[in-house]
Amino acid sequence: MRSKTLRMLLSLVLLAAFAAGIVGCLPVPTDVPPKAEEAKPAEVKPTEAKPAEEKPVEEKPAKPYEGVELTLAAMTDQYIAGFRHLIPIFEEESGITITMDELGYVDLYQKLTADFVGKTAQYDLMTVDIVWSGEYATNGYTLPLDDFMARDKEELMLDDIMPVAWTLGEYKGKHYAYPLAGYANVLNYRKDLLEAAGIEPPKTQEELLAAAKALTKDGQYGIALLGAKGSAVAQDYMAWVQQHGGSILDKDGKVAVNTPENVEILKFFGELFKYAPPGSTDYWWDQRETAFRDGMVAMMEGWSIARAGYENPEISKIVGKVDIVPAPVSEGMEPMYGFGGWGIGINASSDPEKQEAAWVFIKWLTSPEIQKEWVRHDGAPIRRSTLTDPDLNKEYPWFPKMLEAFEKGDGDYRPRIPEYSIIQDALGTYVNAYLVGQETAESALQKAQAQIEANIK
Amino acid sequence: MKSFALTFRRFFRDDGQYLLLLSPLLIFAVVVAIYPLFFSFRISLFDYRLTDPNQTQTFVGLKNYIRAFSDTVVLDSLKTTLIYVFGTVTLELVFGLGLALLLSAEVRIIRMLRSFLIMPMAIPPLVVGLVWKALYNADFGVIPFYMKALGLSVGHGPLAELKLAMLAVILIDLWQWTPLLMVIFLAGLKSLPTEPYEAAVVDGASRWQSFWFITLPLLKPTMLVALLLRTMQSFKVFDTIYATTAGGPGSATTVLNFHIYTVGMTFFDMGYAAALANILLVVIAVLSIIYIMVLERQQF
């Protein structure tokens, strides 16, 4: 009798556990975001809550999209701090809630692709890397924003946005992502080391090589580079192709990586690695940053967004010793500077109401007023008014150089075409193979070209 | 024919209940194993790109398989995989057996030691990969630091040198999975009968002889299990490679499974990726059958 009740009880418990297990399995997407949300307010409150009180005056009366819930997939780049700070303020003003999922580069791309292909609209808003815009446009993944932009022309102040910033989302005349964060390719250098060696900041690639050579001594290296197999080495090589006036595509827009010109550039790129830390052929962005912040190298080319971090004593040993110049180009070449960064797009499969609300967020975030806060919280500028703002120029004395790099920015040195990921993978494998001595410069690019052609249909 | 129909009918009349009771398990197996298997076989006969907005699937017959065998990247990665599997499995077998023999005594300290040794198995391979990547880093890592202190040349670091990268990843696998083999061999050792050893002692056999002529042959079934398990796992290696070298430097550690991932998740070429995955499946199945045949035949 007793054992029977016990068995009954036990099976009941098991049944409950079973049911809980099943129920627990269902809402996967809603399970994750709350964590990110919990983390946000805690980080935001201590910094600054004032802007929230200042602005409501302008927008408070109308909250047409109150109660709409949006999800945002954001890359864990420096600007994530800007989102963490600004989203709660926006939520307060508009009544729209935004749940942010913070994802790494590879994860973000794959999760978004799955979301787009399945038309599941898990994410209404997403950060779009400049190189994805062609693919997203061709496949219709993100909403063309041109109708919205034409409607709200007056408030947007489109002329104020740097012309090069439009490459962050424009494809064949339409806008599939709105400019969010513009990065200029700049050369960071150590003032103290260059001065001690009596070297002027390099203006040309040839000077850069000579400086890197001269600065490599006593356990110190000339330059930090990205050498790790995959997107890292591919993107760094493409930056050097741009700086030497080469091109990944031929005149007809066909992929042509194995030109004699590109082979020469690859050899130059390989030459630079002689003056980089030995581990460089295994560096991703974070290790390259560490090498520079640790004081191990004298120079580093990279995105301008990282610049502010060198003045943060918590993560940097080189506070006050760094300056930037626009990335040097090959001698005799008309200066053009690599431009990259992120746009923000709206999922084409989201509900129209959510799309409208998402557009409200984009408008708010990219307005000149909010852009200042965005930049102050590790965001990156897209507007001329931000880059020329006197207050910001005092806080970030390198802004004039960034403006110059933006003026002559080239957003297409990494081809923004649907086949980009195939090109990047092939270059990522074979440029790395050349750097570690598995291939010669010629055979590396030959094989990369062959692999690209085999995969583009 | 008639008898077949009879058994068939009887099966359903008499044992229908069995089927009913088995159905949850059968449905589960169909949903999670059999359906995906058939789907991947079907899709491997099609040209299907996941990112295609129209989701068109064109039937191409065996073209994906033919392409695989003329693709040098695939053949190279297959070779890399074989080296990796051979390296990890033999080393782990030797070290696992050695550790098991060393730690088979039932003493308190040894029991504690054993539980400590099992810890690497409890860590997800991806985390293991990230930790080792940090340890191996040429400029900031611990291992190159001591290598330099010993006067050894580190070059680009263990993971970035062509000749060292494969060895470096094999070492990671060795660190993580040798304990598993140790546990399996310990179980095998504990279940051995004691009589043959007593007889051997009476006959004047040395310890080495009793190991070579008694322990090893008796451990054969255990060895089969261990070999099968590790070979299959080793063929499927992905996480550690993904986290440490991403198949680099160049393509020195691009194992087949990592290449399949690139084709599927970077190129989104699902038909071709499915074909490659099926080839991997067949290779593993064939190897497993050979193992079983060889080791079964030699038994007694």
Q: What is the pLDDT of residue B241?
A: 93
Is residue A285 situated within a structural domain?
A: yes
The interface pTM score, or ipTM, of the predicted complex is 0.78
- Do B266 and B125 share a structural domain? yes
Q: What is the pLDDT along chain B (300 residues), one digit of tens a residue?
A: 556 666 666 666 656 677 788 889 999 999 998 999 999 999 999 998 887 777 788 899 899 999 999 888 899 999 999 999 999 999 999 999 999 999 988 889 988 888 888 899 999 999 999 999 999 988 888 999 998 899 888 888 888 888 899 999 999 999 999 999 999 999 999 999 989 888 998 998 888 898 999 999 999 889 988 998 899 899 999 999 999 998 888 889 999 999 999 898 888 889 999 999 999 999 999 988 888 888 777 654
Residues B141 and B206 in one domain: yes
pLDDT, tens digit, 9 for 90 and up, residues A237-262: 999 999 999 999 998 889 999 999 99
Q: Could A279 and B266 be called an inter-chain contact, meaning their C-beta atoms sit closer than 8 Å? A: no
Are A248 and A269 spatial neighbours (Cβ–Cβ below 8 Å)? no
SS (H, E, C) B32-60: HHHHHHHHHHHHCCEEEECCCCCCCEEEC
Q: Are residues A443 and A315 in the same domain?
A: yes
Same domain flag for B103 and B151: yes
User: Are residue A92 and residue A41 in the same domain, yes or no?
Assistant: yes
Q: What's residue B18's pLDDT?
A: 77
| A190 shares a domain with A179 | no
Whether the CB of A120 is below 8 Å from some CB of chain B: the reply is no
Look at residue A18 in the predicted model and tell me its pLDDT.
Answer: 54
Q: Residue B121 domain-assigned?
A: yes
Residues B103 and B14 in one domain: no
Q: Closest chain B residue to A230 measured between Cα atoms? A: B246
Any domain includes A279: yes
Say if B19 falls within a structural domain. Answer: yes
Q: Which of A282, A433, A454 sits opposite B157 (nearest CB)?
A: A282
Q: B165 and B288 share a domain?
A: yes
Residue B287: per-residue pLDDT: 87
Single-letter amino acid code for the residue at A263: V
Cβ-Cβ contacts under 8 Å, A140 against chain B = 53
To the nearest whole Å, the CA of B238 is away from the closest chain A CA by: 16
Domain annotation covers residue B75? yes
Contacts of A455 in chain B (CB under 8 A): 267, 269
How close B82 comes to chain A (CA, Å)?
20
Mutation for testing the B interface, residue in A226, A282, A435 having most B CBs under 10 Å? A282
Distance from CA of A27 to the nearest CA of B (A): 20
Give the list of residues 6+ apart from residue A239 with CB closer than 8 angstroms, or none. Answer: A185, A301, A327, A338, A413
Residue of A nearest to B160 (CA): A282
Residue of B nearest to A231 (CA): B246
Specify the pLDDT at position B8.
Answer: 62
Are A139 and B159 an interchain contact pair (Cβ–Cβ within 8 Å)? no
Is B114 a member of any domain? yes
Whether residue A282 and residue B159 make contact (CB cut-off 8 A), yes or no, is yes
Query: Do A314 and A192 share a domain, yes or no?
Result: yes
- Considering the domain architecture, whether residues A41 and A70 belong to the same structural domain is answered as yes
pLDDT confidence of residue A6: 61
Tell me, what DSSP letter sits at residue B212?
A: I
In a domain, B50, yes or no: no
State residue A34's pLDDT score.
40
**Identity of the residue numbered B56:** T
Contact A455 B245 (CB under 8 A): no
**Strands A178-190 and A297-303, how do they pair?**
antiparallel
pLDDT given at position B16: 67
Q: Is residue B58 part of a domain?
A: no
Residues B37 and B75 in one domain: no
In this structure, the answer to whether residues A332 and A190 fall within a common structural domain is yes
Tell me which residues of chain A, numbers 200 to 229, contact chain B at a CB-CB cutoff of 8 Å.
227-229
Decide if A279 touches B, using CB distance below 8 A.
Answer: yes
3-state SS assignment for residue A175: strand
User: Is residue A367 exposed (0-12), middle (13-18) or buried (19+ Cβ within 10 Å)?
Assistant: middle
DSSP tally for chain A: helices H, then strands E: 22, 11
Q: Find residues 398-437 of chain A whose CB sits inside 8 Å of chain B.
A: 421-422, 425, 429-430, 432-437
Say yes or no: B271 contacts chain A, CB-CB below 8 A: no
Q: Based on the domain organization, do A347 and A448 belong to the same domain?
A: no
**Interchain CB contact of B160 with A (< 8 Å):** yes
Chain A residues closer than 8 Å to B252 by CB: 436, 438
Question: What CATH number does the domain containing A209 carry?
Answer: 3.40.190.10
CB contact under 8 A, B262 and A432: no
Instruction: Please indicate, yes or no, whether residues B34 and B74 belong to a single structural domain of this protein.
Output: no
B268 — phi, psi (to 5°)? 55, 30
Beta strands in A246-389 (DSSP E): 297-303, 322-326, 337-346
Helix (H) or strand (E) holding A31: helix A28-31
- Beta-carbon separation of A278 and B247 below 8 A: no
Same domain, residue pair B137 and B24: no
Chosen for mutation from A135, A229, A300, A440 (greatest number of chain B CBs closer than 10 Å) is: A229
> Are A332 and A348 found together in one domain?
no
State how far residue A15 is from chain B, nearest Cα, in angstroms.
15
Q: Are A431 and A272 in contact, with CB atoms under 8 Å apart? A: no
| H helical segments located in A118-246 | 133-139, 146-151, 153-156, 191-196, 205-215, 231-243
* B203 contact partners, CB below 8 Å, separation of at least 6: none
Nearest residue of chain A to residue B265 (CA atoms): A110
Provide the domain count of chain A: 2
Q: Are residues A173 and A237 in the same domain?
A: no
Question: How many CB pairs below 8 Å do chains A and B form together?
Answer: 101
Closest partner residue to A438 (CB to CB) among B49, B249, B269 is B249
Query: Is some CB atom of chain B closer than 8 A to the CB atom of A137?
Result: no
Residue A12 forms part of a structural domain: no
Within this chain, do residues A308 and A168 fall inside the same structural domain, yes or no?
no
Q: What CATH number is associated with residue B123?
A: 1.10.3720.10
Give the residue carrying structure tokens 């493409």: A238
Are residue A107 and residue A200 in the same domain, yes or no?
no
Distance CA A232, CA A161 (A): 29
Give me the number of domains chain B comprises.
Answer: 2
Q: Tell me, what's the pLDDT at A181?
A: 94
Cβ neighbours of A440 in B, within 8 Å: none
Contacts of A425 in chain B (CB under 8 A): 262, 266-267
DSSP class of residue A333 equals P
Do the Cβ atoms of A135 and B157 come within 8 Å?
no
Chain B: residue whose CA lies nearest to A425: B266
Which residues on neighbouring strands pair with residue A127, listed in sequence order?
A344
A200 and A315 assigned to the same domain: yes
Answer whether residue B118 is part of any domain: yes
Residue B126 pLDDT:
92
Are B25 and B174 found together in one domain? no
Instruction: Report the amino acid identity of residue A233.
Output: V
B70 to chain A: closest CA residue: A454
- Per the structure, the complete domain to which residue B292 belongs is given by 65-297
* Separation between Cα atoms, residue B119 and residue A156, nearest integer Å: 58
Model pLDDT, residue B266: 83
> Do the beta carbons of residue A322 and residue A186 sit within 8 Å?
no
Q: Does A300 touch chain B (CB under 8 A)?
A: no
Q: Which residues of chain A have pLDDT under 50?
A: 1, 23-60
Same domain, B261 and B173: yes
Q: In this structure, are B280 and B202 located in the same domain? A: yes
The residue range of the domain holding A65 is 29-183+340-410
Ranges of beta strands (E only) in A233-382 are: 297-303, 322-326, 337-346
